[in-house]
Structure 1
Amino acid sequence: MSHDHSDSPEQILTDLLAGNDRHVAQHDESEFDAVRDAQSPPVVSVCCSDSRVSQEGMWDVSEPGQLFTVANIGNRSTVEVDGERVLDGGVAYPVTFTDTGVVAVVGHTGCGAVTAAYEVVTGETELESLPPGVQQDLDSLITMVEEAPVDLGGEKSAVVDRLVEYNVREQCEFVSGETDAAVYGFVYDFHHRYGDQDGRTYLVAAGDGDPADLVGKEHRDAVRSLL
């Protein structure tokens, strides 16, 4: 399904329903039997809600019950409750109630939310000019930018992508301290910032250890860092 702004809402609706027809046709009648009454996904993926980043697509997951997905601008794994930073419910729920043992935090190059937070901190954008909901979502990202050990004075796109990686690492550090799940941090690259393959996810964080120690030789090239 591919559209542009010239397509009418009715045409997009028709295409959505046609896409669901194809989705239904691809499923075996018994495919949901094992997960119809309960779920126990091995992984919860926390990803940016950017339209260019498909969570199921990047991991080549097509079977139901395999991936618990959380999406928001800036791939945030935490939320503030009564002044305290806690795990977002989308992460806390699966690791608490569905025996999910792995958390994957996925940022992406050219992230609009991180860019917006950067622009607020550098004075390029007034926070009050943004929709209230966006202001709230940017709050923790603005703090991240202010505290990041990244020189904000460099070339903008390069600075933003370093902040993207730092945000992933910072999110992973917090989640690791709040849960017994294994936590891995990735950056989805479609700007050739880490390499020359569109859609490659690069492992940038893995708990307190060296990510390279956790992967085989066939995936060593997927372990990289901008920091």
Structure 2
Amino acid sequence: MQLLVDLLERNWEHAEAFQDRFDSVQDAQEPDVVTVCCSDSRVLQDQMWGNEDPGHIFTCGNIGNRVVQRTAAGEAVSGDVLYPIEHTGTKTAVVVGHTGCGAVTATYDEITDGLSEPAGIEHCLGLLKPHLEAGVDALPDDLDRTEAINRLVEYNVDRQVAFLRESDDVPADVDVIGVVYDFQDVYSDRRGEIQVINVNGETAVKTLRDDHPAIESRIERLWEY
């Protein structure tokens, strides 16, 4: 129970700080961006953007930062990602992968060796697997396991971006961005820094830097396959 006491004390501090910040969004929301992040305790979904504004970011989370949902009619854009695009006028979607992703690791292991997981986890990995199989096949042979996983993290982000852009449910004027959140010193020694790896399907680093000079220093990839 002490953990709950501690959590509620932190919530009290939160409520004190945010007392007046909900005035303009109590009855409706028009978030500027929808993000889909990996459900991982190390991925600070709002703090990574320095967000302290209710109504600014529509945050979704699941293992593997998936935008894909399986329906009776086949694969579709997940409803939690699609909702703000469909109903609140949100025009920017950001897929947030992260270094050392456990879901990508488990999917890699499932593809290469086979795994046994509880049904709920198996379902989630099953949504990732068909989108990552080609990436696993394309991995260079000289990579160690850690390097392979972090390249697949980028590949997974690319596949989720592509799924959004190819869906008839997502209007063509919605910008879809792919990024990687790094807390393992993979891209730099600035833990928690975000690297942009994909903008509306473009993944070539030089092209991205030429097209987006304002964020040139934040554009990096490990793998241009």
Give the CA deviation at 1:131: 0.9
**What secondary structure, in the 3-state scheme, does the structure 1 residue paired with 2:127 have?**
helix
Unaligned runs of 5+ in 2: none
Instruction: Kindly provide the CA deviation profile for residues 159-198 of structure 1, in whole angstroms up to 9, marking residues without a partner as x.
Output: 0000000000110011112212100000001112122210
Given residue 221 of structure 2, which amino acid in structure 1 is its aligned partner? S
Give the CA deviation at 1:25: 0.9
Unaligned runs of 5+ in 1: 1-9
Selected match of 1:159 from 148, 152, 161: 148
Residue of structure 1 in register with 2:122 after alignment: 135
8 Å CA contact retained: 1:152, 1:159: no
Give the CA deviation at 1:212: 2.1
Instruction: Kindly provide the CA deviation profile for residues 79-120 of structure 1, in whole angstroms up to 9, marking residues without a partner as x.
Output: 111251110011110000010110000000000000001111
**Which residues of 2 match residues 1-227 of structure 1 at below 5 A?**
10-29=1-20, 31-123=21-113, 125-126=114-115, 129-148=116-135, 149-151=138-140, 154-178=143-167, 179-180=170-171, 181-209=174-202, 210-217=207-214, 219-227=215-223
**What secondary structure, in the 3-state scheme, does the structure 1 residue paired with 2:162 have?**
helix
Instruction: Kindly provide the CA deviation profile for residues 39-88 of structure 1, in whole angstroms up to 9, marking residues without a partner as x.
Output: 00010000001000011111110110001011000000111112511100
For 1:27 and 1:75, the matched residues in 2 are separated by 28
Aligned residues with identical type, % of pairs? 38
Change (3 A) 1:15 1:214: farther
Change (3 A) 1:82 1:151: farther
For 1:75 and 1:168, the matched residues in 2 are separated by 8
Q: TM-score, normalised by structure 2?
A: 0.90
For 1:69 and 1:212, the matched residues in 2 are separated by 27
**What secondary structure, in the 3-state scheme, does the structure 2 residue paired with 1:110 have?**
coil
Given residue 142 of structure 1, which amino acid in structure 2 is its aligned partner? K
Q: TM-score, normalised by structure 1?
A: 0.89
For 2:95 and 2:201, the matched residues in 1 are separated by 15
Instruction: Kindly provide the CA deviation profile for residues 122-173 of structure 1, in whole angstroms up to 9, marking residues without a partner as x.
Output: 11x52xx211000000012222331113246730010000000000011001
Change (3 A) 1:115 1:83: farther
For 1:151 and 1:144, the matched residues in 2 are separated by 18
Aligned length: 213
**What secondary structure, in the 3-state scheme, does the structure 1 residue paired with 2:23 have?**
coil
**What secondary structure, in the 3-state scheme, does the structure 1 residue paired with 2:177 have?**
strand
